[in-house]
Chain A
Amino acid sequence: MAEEKKKKIFNSESAHALVSELRKTFNTGKTKSYEWRVSQLKNLQKLIEEHEKEIIEALQTDLAKPEAEIHVGEIGMLKSSLKTTLKQLRNWMMPEKVKTSMTTFPSSAEILPEPLGVTLVISPWNYPILLSIDPMIGAIAAGNVVVLKPSEVAPASSSFLAKYLGEYMDSSAIRVVEGAVPETIALLEQKWDKIFYTGSGRIGRIVMSAAAKHLTPVVLELGGKCPVIVDSDINLQVATRRIIGGKWACNNGQACVSADYIITTKEFAPKLIGSLKHEIEACFGTNPIESKDIARIINSNHFDRLSKLLDDEKVSGKIVYGGKRDKSCLRIAPTILLDVPEDSLIMNEEIFGPLLPILMVDKIEDSFALVTSKEKPLAAYLFTNKNKLKDEFVSTISAGATVINEVTIHLAVHTLPFGGVGESGTGSYHGKFSFDAFSHKKAVLYRSFAGDASVRYPPYSNGKVRMLKALINGSILGIILALFKLSKD
């Protein structure tokens, strides 16, 4: 019986039936109520609380993630997101009153958030629990029904989500569809009211094309090469540790906001490399490839991809630290490369792994042109104490986020929108931005039958023109003058 269930194909027909069923649920209005939303969010809290052990197991199976990283990067983030959402939800659901001008006097206006309807969340393999549930929190908070398609590349996490979301959540409104490319295509053929996708630019294009057929709005959380510009006038130890925290202690570089590459001056590079070597060993021991405190590479495909980057003849001789690989346990040691050429493979794709190239410039200011010559990344990082450099960095570099003297922690700040620009994506979420991403903000204008301006209607006259001009420009004086002239007609 269980075998039969597993073999059941999820095709276009199944996807269509699923969407119809969820749309029926949505149309009953059940998911719009505050009580329903809160109950589902609280169920998520319970799920995470009661099955923390299973979450850790799944993530260690899929990625060998260290427990501390799981608590910081997945469980902790979700708990904090749920807490914020439950606390603020009532506020977020309330209409926002807006001021109207003389032009529409007398009137009152407000903006009313409402759910979009049937939403699809497609999540990636690198933070498979966080990046599935966090967008769902936004969708549910905004009153939608949701289908989650977790990544098949993280199968233990995918099973976890299918099992426990099935048990804890209202299955008439929230469903998980496991599977790979065929299932994803079947889902993308359907008409959704919103699609939220986290992953690569290549698939992002496919998602947006599919969405275009139904005029479905999308949020695309993509990636990019997040640069770290390192000035010389800094607290080197703290900066180095933060870089390590944002690279190898961050899913082993397999994160959309990981430090991808470093730019520093020719003069400072040796000091930086020395510091990195020292601090890497302080964090991971003298043989970092064996450290249990680093996640492994997700699978052999990615292992091979990363190996290719190291085998590229353009970077031969550029490795200054690390380089060890072990395919049997899918591990590559924290590796630093110095002065790789611009046209090497490693500088032309998002690394998403434990390799850290360092590029050198004469003056630190030259690093900005280097960054702006590439596609806009999800985040750009700068370590410096110089205020002028900070200002120039923020105003010159376009990225999802610009962060100074830190790496990756901006994700944890729920009052900042988290999203990309250009190739790194469109739309944003976290905190209230999640609620907004899954809402339609309906404009409402209240007028009455009192006070109609006959100037609005034909037949037209010069007096009417004057009055109309004054009304449209909201000019009280103009209206008074026009009234005078009007009365003389």
Chain B
Amino acid sequence: MGTMMDLDQSLVELRQTFRSRRTRSLEWRKSQLQAILQLLRKKEDKIFNALHQDLGKHPIEVYRDEIGVVEKSINHALSCLEKWMGPKKTRLPLVFFPASAQVLPEPLGLVLIFVSWNFPFSLAMDPLIGAISAGNVVVLKPSEHAPATSSLLSETIPLFLDSKAIKVIEGGAEVCEQLLQKKWDKIFFTGSQRVGRLIMSAAANHLTPVTLELGGKCPVILDSLSNLSEIKLAVKRIVGGKWGSCNGQACIAVDYVLVEDRFASVLINSLQRTIEKFYGKTLDEYQNLSRVVNKHHFNRLRSLLDDPLVAASIVYGGSWDEEKLMIQPTILLNPPLNSELMTEEIFGPLLPIITVDKIEESIDFINSMPKPLVIYALTKNEAFKKRILSETSSGTVTFNDILIQFLCDALPFGGVGPSGFGRYHGKYSFDTFSHEKAVLQRSYWFELEARYPPWNDFKLKFLRLTYKFDYFGLILLMLGLKK
């Protein structure tokens, strides 16, 4: 597949399907969501294999981050869909009587979803669930950097879903360019800022609305904790939040940690012990760690350590295995702030620790960097929490845990500033692929003469009072009692 004509034909077919209104019915949407559930159940082994091939993910990681989250999203959507689809009545000021007003969600039409390589299955399915729930037709473009998952999606989706409404188009940069030349009703993109700009520029030609789920450097502010068990737990969460999900290659992974100088060595020791407990001690032993996705990113990460000042700041780890595409979980203490390690999103298993005199200084530090997708703050100080919330800006703030906000369907998931715009998860997924249409209905009786020319003083007074919603004044005017 890959010719322009094939693409055009597919798009014609998808638009025809959309015009037929088949995707509007609750039944169709539910049937597609249930079909995805079937796909998850029947092809579970194939999913595990594909993710192991593409990223070396452990099946539990796959279940937790790719299959389980999708199941949860579908179940949530199935139970709420009818409610989401219904119109929302809105209040009307009395002056419009008699009238009724409501907001009615409707599908945007033909949707394009770009998937990133780090969660190549769930970041395809989760947006797809939103697009289907909202009644759209979809083209899914999986990442070519996760080829096994891309093939899996391309083979299995047509087996389970309505292939005249949902299509998978595989390919690399060339295919992306071709896709971006077409007119879409919505584009949903997960990936880097650089490509995000290209997508939005292309979308501008057709005034296509976009949702951009980008990245950034997600910091952890680690405040002093009162007892050893809390410290241990905090460290477990940091380790799990850095290396436990795709080995740091996640937009919401811990990028770096801010901690007071006096706790640095305790932290480093604790991190070391936990890393070794979870994953092992040497490159040969490592279990439960995804690998770096490909040579390009491997080289990128390794070269971050080339800077001699950066290399000098390594306090744990630092070794690598090019053949296995593995880099040891590495901790660095106060690397230079102008190094690429500290100016670019790391997206890998390197963890800088930046020390400050007082933990409150983290706020200024974070504000000196671009707004991230998430700020993690491990603290019990309520005043400090309030300051973090009001003095910093990020897509999300999570207190005393890491990554888990991803599972909370009631919270919108998205960035701000360079970390992106738009959001999804739960009802936000439905909304992001919908147009909320205003609907106003009136009838013919109770017509107000004053609305029409020819204009005169009386009508002017009337209109002024109407706009103030000054009903009493209006009555007086009509009775001839208002001057």
Contacts and interface: CB of A to CB of B under 8 A. Distances in A.
Contacts of B214: 215
B275 to A, nearest CB: 10
A440 B391 CA distance: 14
Interface in A268-292: 283-285, 291
A469 B58 CA distance: 15
B358 interface: no
Given A68-B453, A445-B398, A447-B400, A458 B287 contact: yes
A135 interface: no
Given A103-B407, A416-B103, A442-B397, A404 B441 contact: yes
Contacts of A398: 106, 109, 435, 437
A175 to B, nearest CB: 21
Interface stretch (A34-42, A306-314, A318-326, A406-414): A406-414
B71 A249 contact: no
Interface in B223-258: 225, 229-230, 233-234, 236, 239-240, 244
A104 to B, nearest CB: 5
Given A208-B200, A215-B193, A443-B397, A403 B440 contact: yes
B204 A205 contact: yes
Interface in B365-398: 367, 380, 389-391, 393-398
A460 B108 CA distance: 43
B68 A473 contact: yes
A409 B422 CA distance: 30
A205 B63 CA distance: 42
Interface in B413-445: 413, 416-418, 420-423, 435-444
B440 A413 contact: yes
A101 B79 CA distance: 14
B440 to A, nearest CB: 4
Contacts of B244: 456-458
Contact of A98 (B193, B204, B398, B411): B411
Nearest to A376: B435
Interface in A448-486: 448-449, 452, 456-460, 464-465, 468-469, 472-474
Most buried by A among B24, B201, B391: B201
Contacts of A79: 467-468
B410 interface: yes
A381 B405 CA distance: 43
> Which residue, B24, B75, B416, has most C-beta atoms of chain A within 10 A?
B416
B398 A447 contact: yes
Nearest to A283: B453
B279 interface: yes
A400 B209 CA distance: 14
A400 B438 contact: yes
A422 B207 CA distance: 7
Interface in A77-91: 77, 79-80, 83
Nearest to A396: B21
B64 A445 contact: no
B145 interface: no
Interface string A179-205: 000000000000001000000010011
Given A76-B467, A213-B197, A447-B401, A456 B452 contact: no
A251 interface: no
Nearest to A95: B389
B408 A410 contact: no
Interface string A84-125: 000000000000001111011001010110101100000000
User: How big is the B interface, by class?
Assistant: 35 or more
B438 A449 contact: no
A6 to B, nearest CB: 34
B181 interface: no
Nearest to B450: A68
B476 to A, nearest CB: 18
B437 A415 contact: no
B467 A394 contact: no
Contact of A394 (B64, B229, B439, B451): B439
A391 B452 CA distance: 29
B335 interface: no
Contact of B72 (A72, A425, A472): A472
A67 interface: yes
Contacts of B287: 458-459
A99 B204 contact: no
Given A29-B391, A204-B207, A456-B240, A443 B467 contact: no
Contacts of B104: 394
Interface in B318-356: none
Contact of B69 (A217, A452, A472): A472
B455 A443 contact: no
A409 B96 contact: yes
A329 interface: no
Contacts of A208: 200, 203-204, 207
A217 B399 contact: no
B45 interface: no
Contacts of A32: 390
Interface stretch (B86-94, B162-170, B264-272, B298-306): B86-94
Contacts of B75: 473
Given A101-B409, A215-B193, A458-B244, A413 B441 contact: no
Contacts, number: 286
A215 B279 CA distance: 38
Interface string B58-72: 111001100011011
B245 to A, nearest CB: 10
Contact of B454 (A211, A293, A464): A293
A443 B396 CA distance: 5
B60 A212 contact: no
A9 interface: no
A446 B399 contact: yes
Contact of B200 (A66, A215, A469, A472): A215
Given A80-B469, A215-B420, A413-B96, A447 B64 contact: no
Interface stretch (A165-173, A233-241, A355-363): A233-241
Contact of B399 (A390, A406, A445): A445
B317 interface: no
B460 interface: yes
B444 A209 contact: no
B452 A472 contact: no
A473 to B, nearest CB: 6
A103 B75 CA distance: 13
B438 A417 contact: yes
Most chain B beta carbons < 10 A, residue from A77, A201, A417? A417
Interface string B261-300: 0000000000000000011000000011000000000000
Contact of A283 (B59, B288, B454, B469): B454
A238 B404 contact: no
A451 B101 CA distance: 47
Given A446-B399, A469-B63, A472-B68, A441 B410 contact: no
Contact of A472 (B71, B229, B391): B71
Interface of A: 27, 29, 32, 66-68, 71-72, 75-77, 79-80, 83, 98-101, 103-104, 107, 109, 111-112, 114, 116-117, 193, 201, 204-205, 208-209, 211-213, 215, 217, 220, 222, 234-235, 238-239, 241, 244-245, 249, 283-285, 291, 293-294, 390, 394-395, 398-406, 409-410, 412-413, 415-418, 421-423, 425-426, 428, 440-449, 452, 456-460, 464-465, 468-469, 472-474
Given A449-B380, A452-B236, A460-B288, 20 more contacts: A79-B467, A98-B411, A101-B408, A103-B407, A109-B408, A204-B207, A208-B204, A208-B207, A212-B200, A212-B203, A213-B197, A222-B207, A283-B453, A399-B437, A413-B438, A421-B437, A452-B233, A457-B240, A458-B244, A469-B63
26 contacts: A71-B464, A79-B468, A80-B467, A80-B469, A100-B410, A103-B408, A209-B205, A215-B196, A215-B214, A217-B421, A241-B447, A284-B453, A291-B453, A409-B96, A415-B91, A441-B412, A444-B398, A445-B396, A445-B397, A445-B411, A447-B398, A447-B401, A458-B279, A460-B58, A460-B288, A473-B72
